[in-house]
Structure 1
Amino acid sequence: MSNLDRAPVPSVCGGRGFVVAEPVRELLSPRRVKLGEGTEVRRLLPNLGRRMIGAWAFVDHYGPDDIADEPGMQVPPHPHMGLQTVSWLHEGEVLHRDSTGSLQTVRPRELGLMTSGRAISHSEESPRSHARFLHGAQLWVALPDEHRHTDPHFEHHAGLPTVTAAGVTATVVLGALDGAISPGTTHTPLVGADLTLAADATVRLPLVPDFEYGVLAMSGEVHVDGVPVLPGSMLYLGCGRAELPLRAASDASLMLLGGEPFEEELIMWWNFVGRTQDDIKQAREDWMSGSRFGEVKGYEGAPLPAPELPPTPLKPRGRVR
């Protein structure tokens, strides 16, 4: 779960000054980014106009890609701090290795949740023998200050709770939805759910008015609160909603992301989330010197070097540019 941009732009995130306290319909267009060898992603967060949704600070959508004759996802060892990564697949498999010794193949509708805490490194790759198609989402959750120095660890949950109604099945990836609670560890009030809608289904999904929400379209044709949302795009919904109208024009799938607006102001640069310039600078130095982040064993290839820091100071300023 990584940002492989060799010239990453610092993102200033968090703070409640720019939270939209009422329902809105703000369509976010993706930016296309290369992820390792052969995988292109559509980056929805951070976006030019929207940095976070609750504690969700990073969202990539990729595929479906035909990788039958390709290596697929190949992301060398790289570091993280101050965040959790969420691996979520609709098709394919991803082999996860990390510096705590974890080795796990994550498959469709299984939760791979890595808490970096103070420091971790990991790699991600399609197994040598893999399915033809690769399709999924990569997401980060920012850790609040009291948990950002916790011990790193990895969780894998193959069985997740579901909520069903006429025409829709919701798998609760993180947090809680309509009384169903994910086993994944969370540190702020939030929700991440995968929604599968049948063609012609009309649904009103219960929401928490104090949360802000966004919907990522994964596949199919769907209208979210009357707005058509195409696969690989996201609709930001603001706060103040008790329910969300959904209408599927075909079989479709979405990811609902929401949470209590994140109060702290953050700096996100490359694969690090910190609070100050010194946080980020020290993390980069530690990674390049081979300290603090540990070693990923078993990956055939060299770790990723960190990009150079930008010449301008990194300062947290808020949720939107």
Structure 2
Amino acid sequence: MMNSLELMRKRLEFNGGIRQEDRMIKGKYETFLRTLQFSYQGVNAQLIQPHTQCFDLDDSPIVRALITPDKTKQDYDDKILSIDYRHNFNPGDVFKWVGTDSYWLIYLQTLTEDAYFRGTIRRCRYKIKFKDENGNVVTTWAAIRGPVETQIESIQKNQVRVDRPNLSLNILMPLNEKTLKAFKRYSQFLFAGKCWQVQAPDSISMKNVLEVNAEEYYIDRDTDNIDDEVKNGLVIEPVDPTPQTLIKGNTFIKPKIAERYEAPAANGRWKVLDNLPVCLTSVDDTTVEVVWNKMTSGQFVLQWSNGLQLETKTIVVESLY
């Protein structure tokens, strides 16, 4: 038969634990679950873009959450999200508020809330397109604050007046490998019919969130795809002429710069086909350094063989500028 001490322990464990703080957390969590069902501010939410990637999910479940008012301004809309930890919403994630068909970025988390996830969210009204390191066009949701400038900046000399692009943007977006590489300082992107240059990217201040401050820049109408808003969208990306080769190394190189290549096995010999201005240095049976000795562009074939296996790699020498 259970004594009174054991009975009290069972009751405490049922209510959350021996510690009073644990019982308070469980009580608040149970209140939160009831609020999800009956509160006027209860909503349906669906995870759309986790901070780790740059494409939309189409099969994530719809879950219940609370969205309460915070700050609403003409250039941004902030609210507070409260959701169960088990749904794995994190800072940097973008989710869809199903009832309003709107999209929101979680950019701050309230760490003092233990019972459930609580964070500050900002509405994302736009997507930004850019090319990744492989030349593929990708998109990311972004919370964008428009230009705050109220005057035209110009230069006047000898009765000639030239306007300088001086508008600016403040952008919050998910932080991942693709956005971190694409939005470096001095990099450019197209948005709202204009070209913008990144001035100050901040990947440190907020967890999983990249803040970008950008300034208006000049559009290159020969290379930029203005209709689809893709920087260098009219540039045809080079194609690897020998994608199946087992020789490791860069396909596209620059004149006068040494490039290193690795063979798929040992005990082989390197050779350059045709009589071209190519120098092989630091040669051994598995590695070689290649230098194109002219300042002009061109193309050559690097060959490796060991008697049993023969591999070739076509190397393209691009213009130095």
TM category (shorter chain) comes to under 0.3
Larger C-alpha radius of gyration, 1 or 2?
Answer: 2
| TM-score, normalization by structure 2 | 0.19
Structure in which a larger fraction of residues adopt strand = 1
Tell me: higher relative CO, structure 1 or 2? Use CA pairs within 8 A at least 6 residues apart.
Answer: 1
